[in-house]
Amino acid sequence: MLLIYIAIYVVVLLIVWWFYAVARMHTMKFKNFSTHIVPVTNFLLIFLIVLSVLGFIMIFMLTPDTDNFEVSTSSSSNQVEEVENNENNQKSQDEVEETKSFQQDIIGEEFY
């Protein structure tokens, strides 16, 4: 799962850094038009470096998912059978009650 997070993060980083490269090329092309364009792109460079490093640190600080399960086959199979039997008994009791109420409704309607 960690590899998936890293792959997604790298793809996002590539897109963001590609936009920065395009902005940097435009900065060099249009630096005579504004005095603020060079300092802003320099600040953006530092900001992107910090965010990139912090993002990798945060991904590696994630707690890994543990997929360890303890399975004891002797008692769990008995419990599963008991649960299935209880569910079947509950269903059959519900069906009997529904049938009785339905029969009483039919009997009651015949006399009216």
DSSP state of 69: -
46, pLDDT greater than 70: yes
In this prediction, residue 37 carries a pLDDT of 87
Domains of the chain, by residue range, sit at: 2-60, 81-112
How distant, in Å, are the alpha carbons of 88, 89, 91 from that of 102?
A: 21, 20, 16
How far is Cα 97 from Cα 103, in angstroms, rounded to an integer?
Answer: 10
Q: Please give the average per-residue pLDDT across 6-13, as a whole number.
A: 92
Token pair, residue 97, equals: 């009650």
Structure tokens at 3: 């590899």
Rounded distance, CA 68 to CA 14, Å?
35
Its pTM stands at 0.51
Query: Span 51-72, mean pLDDT?
Result: 75
Question: What is the b/e burial string over 35-46, where b = at least 16 CB atoms within 10 angstroms of the residue's CB?
Answer: eebeeebeeeee
